[in-house]
Amino acid sequence: MRFLLDAQLPRALGLALRKAGHEALHTLDLPEGNRTSDQAIALLADKEGHIVVSKDADFVISLLIKGSPNRLLQISTGNITNAELEALLLGNISAIERSFQSGTHVEINRTTLIVHG
């Protein structure tokens, strides 16, 4: 899978996803870094087939209203350590992959994976 991680997520999460065999970019890897707008992130993800990974509810609104980004993994854990977040995503990566076979908006919290659409 191809992931594009939003600015509020740790860059190390991208490294962990790459070690697990996935493609992952962080906004810090983009020319404008963490100043990259949500619209630019969504456009790049749609163009290159990435799943946007974010805690930002603005992406949910954009997906519902504009249909972009095409695919969104919403992190709804509240405060969580980077190590816990990494373990949560990698521990559920197979379920996340399956969820995106039928959905475009997947939400993960500390206990549940929800396919919204």
Residue 75 burial class via C-beta count within 10 angstroms: exposed 0-12, middle 13-18, buried 19 and up:
buried
Phi, psi of 102, rounded to the nearest 5 degrees: -120, -10
CATH architecture for segment(s) 2-115: 3-Layer(aba) Sandwich (3.40)
**What tens digit of pLDDT does each residue of 69-81 get?**
999 999 999 999 9
- For the chain, which residues make up each domain, given as ranges? 2-115
45-102 confidence digits (pLDDT tens): 999 999 999 999 999 999 999 999 999 999 999 999 999 999 999 999 999 999 999 9
